Amino acid sequence: MFNLENTKYHRVTHSFPPFYNSDSEILILGSMPSTKSREVGFYYMHQKNRFWKILENVFNENIGDGIEAKKEFLTKHKIALWDVLKSCDIHGSSDASIKNVEVNDINKIIKSSNIKKIYTTGKKSYQLYNKYILNDTKIEAILLPSPSPANCQISLETLVENYQVINTK
């Protein structure tokens, strides 16, 4: 368990835009990008995060390594990505340490796309979405397990089984 005592917090602001277009039907929400994702400027970019490997398995196709390849994949499958939080105090990339939150305006995406389903990647994003955003969007989120390396007790196979729900084709 993460020890929050004597933890050094930093105020972090989401530093890159949501990824979506008017055809997006699925919105996948994390809590706040990891330190590595903030450095790179795109979602789920820590080399040990299993998000992209999960999607490769769910859709049975190779995504590729670059950000542009990931964007092409997301566009093809009508998937939008964003995070629940606009800013927060956080220690490193630990969801368990998140406090003093400011949420994103998720309706911004919903109003300018074709979002039918919202999924959250992990308990923290699910809790934050339900607490701060659900009343505005009126769209129930579906909780998916976190693909983070911190959630290593869940196998890739189990994650893929859980994420199959997003492949509606």
pLDDT digits (tens, 9 = 90+) for 154-165: 999 999 999 999
144 pairs with which residues across the strands?
Answer: 121
Strands of the sheet with 79-83, listed across from one edge: 79-83, 26-30, 117-121, 141-144
Structural domains of the chain sorted by starting position, each given as residue range(s) with its CATH number in brackets = 10-166 (3.40.470.10)
Locate 137 and state its tokens.
């969007």
Q: Is 49 a catalytic residue?
A: yes
Give the model's pLDDT for residue 23.
98
Which phi and psi angles does 149 have, rounded to 5°? -60, -20
User: What are the tens digits of pLDDT across the range 54-72?
Assistant: 999 999 999 988 999 999 9
Q: Is the pLDDT of residue 102 over 80?
A: yes
CA angle 52, 37, 18 (to 5 degrees): 80
Token pair, residue 57, equals 């398995």
Q: pLDDT tier at 150 (50, 70, 90 boundaries)?
A: confident
Summarize pLDDT for 106-148 with one digit per residue, the tens: 999 999 999 999 999 999 999 999 999 999 999 999 999 999 8
Measured distance CA(74)–CA(80) in Å, rounded:
7
Catalytic residue among 3, 6, 21, 49: 49
Which comes out higher in pLDDT, residue 139 or 48?
139
Mean pLDDT of the chain: 92
* Res. 92 pLDDT band, cuts 50 70 90: confident
> Residue 7 has what pLDDT?
63
Q: Scanning the structure block, which residue is given the tokens 């979002």?
A: 115
pTM metric for this prediction: 0.92
Q: So what's the pLDDT on residue 169?
A: 62
Q: pLDDT band at 90, cuts 50/70/90?
A: confident
Amino acid 2: pLDDT? 47
What's residue 35's pLDDT? 86
pLDDT at position 117? 97
Amino acid at 88: C
DSSP code at position 46? S
19: DSSP letter: B
- 162 vs 17, 55, 63, CA distance in Å? 27, 11, 19
